[in-house]
């Protein structure tokens, strides 16, 4: 499927990388060069964070270079995620530290900051010709155990990364979801003016 087929239909113009970003399930059997993958992690490294605590960490495995590690992360996925996730070039789990050992107290923005890091990573992926599908459907306790994540750190989200493949490699159900048009709620339901629920006139 050409990426243009999934471009966002926007009310206002946005950057092409944002408009073309989507979460596929069909991944090609193609390794990601280490320097390209490194660019994704570098983009995440420079995301903003509260008090500059940078509470994100990534545990990953590349299928073509570390099949055992890849299988380990794959085993933490649940449901259909495992059926198509097995074809990704890379699987990763993003981890945060809600209560840093620095003694500065709990980081109430730890999860938010990991989200920002993942957003940076996602856009860098698109700029590099890659696609990323983030997943909440994975067993966090199992991930902590198998990946030996310390108790004071928490897995937040898993993600599959790779190059786009033809949807024909998917099951009928997954292929239907892959080909479905993207949609979002209108700005009128999301952007309020001064008071909650009052749509801003510019975006009604």
Q: Domain 26-165 in CATH: superfamily?
A: NADH Oxidase (3.40.109.10)
What pLDDT is recorded for position 103? 66
Q: Read off the tokens for 76.
A: 């933490």
Q: What is the rounded end-to-end Cα distance, in angstroms, of the chain?
A: 34
The values of phi and psi at residue 133, to 5°, are -120, 110
| Nearest one of 136, 151, 152 to 94, comparing CA atoms | 136
Contact 134, 123 (CB under 8 A): no
Instruction: Give the CA distances from residue 33 to residues 23, 59, 65, 123, in Å, rounded to whole numbers and listed in that order.
Output: 21, 17, 10, 17
What is the rounded distance in angstroms from the CA atom of residue 182 to the CA atom of residue 179?
9
What DSSP letter does each residue of 107-153 carry, written as one string?
-TTHHHHHHHHHHHHHHHHHHTT-EEEEES-B-HHHHHHHTT--TT-
Give the residue extent of every domain in the chain.
Answer: 26-165
Q: What does the pLDDT profile of the chain (204 residues) look like in tens digits?
A: 444 578 999 999 999 999 999 999 999 999 999 999 999 999 999 999 999 999 999 999 999 999 999 999 999 999 999 999 999 999 999 999 998 877 678 999 999 999 999 999 999 999 999 999 999 999 999 999 999 999 999 999 999 999 999 999 999 999 999 999 999 999 999 999 989 999 999 998
What pLDDT is recorded for position 77? 98
What pLDDT is recorded for position 105? 82
């Amino acid at each position: 499927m050409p990426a243009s087929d999934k471009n966002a239909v926007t009310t206002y113009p946005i950057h092409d990388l944002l408009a073309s970003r989507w979460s596929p399930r069909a991944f090609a059997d193609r390794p990601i060069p280490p320097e390209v993958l490194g660019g994704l992690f570098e983009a995440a490294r420079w995301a903003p964070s509260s008090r500059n605590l940078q509470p994100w960490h990534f545990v990953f495995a590349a299928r073509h270079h570390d099949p055992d590690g890849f299988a380990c992360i794959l085993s933490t996925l649940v449901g259909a995620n495992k059926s198509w996730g097995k074809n990704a070039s890379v699987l990763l789990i993003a981890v945060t530290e809600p209560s840093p050992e620095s003694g500065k107290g709990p980081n109430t923005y730890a999860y938010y900051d990991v989200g920002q890091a993942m957003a940076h990573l996602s856009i860098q992926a698109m700029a590099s010709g890659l696609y990323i599908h983030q997943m909440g459907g994975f067993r966090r306790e199992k991930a902590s155990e198998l990946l030996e994540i310390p108790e004071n750190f928490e897995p937040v989200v898993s993600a599959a990364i790779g190059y786009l493949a033809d949807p024909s490699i998917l099951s009928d159900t997954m292929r239907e979801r892959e080909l479905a048009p993207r949609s979002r709620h209108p700005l009128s339901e999301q952007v309020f003016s001064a008071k909650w629920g009052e749509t801003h006139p510019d975006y009604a």
